[in-house]
Amino acid sequence: MSTTDAADPRFAALPARPGKVIAVHLSYPSRADQRGRRPAHPSYFLKPSSSIAASGSTIERPAGTELLAFEGEIALVIGATARRVAADEAWGHVAAVTAANDFGVYDLRANDKGSNVRSKGRDGYTPLGPRLIPAATVSPTGLRVRTWVDGALAQDDTTEDLLFPLTQIVADLSQHLTLEPGDIILTGTPAGSSVVLPGAVVEVEVDAPGVAESPSSGRLVTTVVEGDEPFDDTLGSLPSVDDHQRAEAWGSRESAGLPAAPAPFRLTDELRAKLSRVPVAALSGQLRKRGLNDVSIDGVAAMHPGSTLVGLARTLRFVPHREDLFASHGGGYNAQKRAFDSVGEGEVIVIEARGESGSGTLGDILALRAKARGAAGIVTDGGVRDYAAVAAVGLPVFSRGPHPAVLGRRHVPWDTDVAIGCGGTTVQPGDVIVGDGDGVIVIPPALVEEVVDAALAQEEEDAWIATQVAAGHPVDGLFPMNAQWRARYEKERS
């Protein structure tokens, strides 16, 4: 550490100016549930050491912004070089823990796209301290972090049940880069992070309640002030906010003063039963009456004659095969495997294969996985490998037919749960998928109740017309019904 750094009050709580500050995106279950997503693996971003500040400092909310949010966290101070260390050895490479506040400006987040350079890298946006707790005196699962805003408790959580234990985070980072003495790891924030306004005082404390003498970092105090230097619009992107960013910054739509988001569409048992009773052709006719002609998934047929399909779409997209892209996206836990591993009960996996049937898009193992997960079926505008074995699984499958080749001959598994094109129509996650011997159709959720009720009524009417035709009546004036036949129909129904 240089003489200048040694005298710099920003690093007063630390043994040295850190070479790296690494932050974890999500690690607390309470925060993950608040955000509505639980990642399978930890992910990280870097903060510059120039963002570090000491207890008692101020932090500027930049001029022209509204969404400065605090995140009380536990900071790990690396004490010994760590390179490819095992999780059970990782804590021995941590010298100390202390309190941190991972401030961020959500107005600057959109164009950062996860890097957080502008939103979290500003001067003073990583207060640390005021005291270090020796890591050897505490357990990595026995730490607590609390945050107060203007004296009111806002966050209170422990490391007992993290999504990714502190030792895993250290070990994982060490397999990608060398952790050096003095480096800082910010280990994520629990639920309760929210927006603070100029004048607010934010305090964070880390302690170990189960340890004798209750070692504590002391309270890390930061005061929010209003910045007065505007951004130069000739240099780069400017602050921007929308209701999504407001809800994330405040912690909820309610806290942000926004109206509640509409409840997600749910395919009730009653609605599912109605859809199961209506032929796809009848649904197609009703959609056509409402101006929707391009809603059929063309070119696919049922693997089992007579099988039907009703469910909500979960989408999987393949892109055309390219050797370098298959090398990067085709192996391991790729998008195809993730889709079949995450499909829910009553959902339909819909696969975009661009109508390319010269390769399989699934086989028997994945069909078994989908059935075990309770999926309602699978629709693909590509081929099916292990066709007989997939048929034996018994799950409704609609495809372009069999093909023996593996995925990499024509396709690269790319992404999931995005809008796709399947059989010439667009399918969005959550669309209603209905299939029978006539094919497969896509119904927008907002129209499904209206459409199915109208289709049922039309089916009842058509059945009555069929009876009249069978009795010898000509179709002229009866199909469709003229006023005379309509009156007779209504009378018999009453």
Q: Among residues 151, 164, 255, which one has the least CA distance to residue 205?
A: 151
Cα–Cα distance measured from residue 337 to residue 325, given in angstroms and rounded to the nearest whole number: 16
Q: Which domains does the chain have, with CATH numbers?
A: 3-250 (3.90.850.10), 294-443 (3.50.30.40)
Q: For residue 191, give every residue at least 6 positions away whose Cβ sits within 8 Å of its Cβ, in sequence order, or none.
A: 28, 30, 31, 33, 34, 155, 157, 251
pLDDT, residue 6, reads: 53
User: Tokens at residue 447, please?
Assistant: 């129209």
- Is 97 in a helix, a strand, or coil? strand
pLDDT, residue 5, reads: 61
Give one DSSP letter per residue of 221-263, joined into a string. Answer: EEEEEE------TTTSPPP---HHHHHHHHSSTTTTTPPPPPP
- Is 131 in a helix, a strand, or coil? coil
Cα–Cα distance measured from residue 368 to residue 390, given in angstroms and rounded to the nearest whole number: 8
pLDDT, residue 263, reads: 82
Mean pLDDT per block of 10 residues along the chain (494 residues) reads 64 94 96 88 95 97 96 98 97 98 94 87 97 96 97 97 97 97 97 97 96 92 96 90 93 92 88 95 95 96 94 97 93 93 96 95 96 97 96 96 91 95 96 96 96 93 92 92 91 84
**What single DSSP character describes residue 80?**
S
Place of tokens 């999987």: 316
pLDDT, residue 4, reads: 47
**What single DSSP character describes residue 440?**
E
Cα–Cα distance measured from residue 450 to residue 277, given in angstroms and rounded to the nearest whole number: 15
In single-letter form, the type of residue at position 22 comes to I
Q: Among residues 135, 138, 129, which one has the least CA distance to residue 210?
A: 138
User: Tokens at residue 390, please?
Assistant: 């997939």
Cα–Cα distance measured from residue 435 to residue 429, given in angstroms and rounded to the nearest whole number: 17
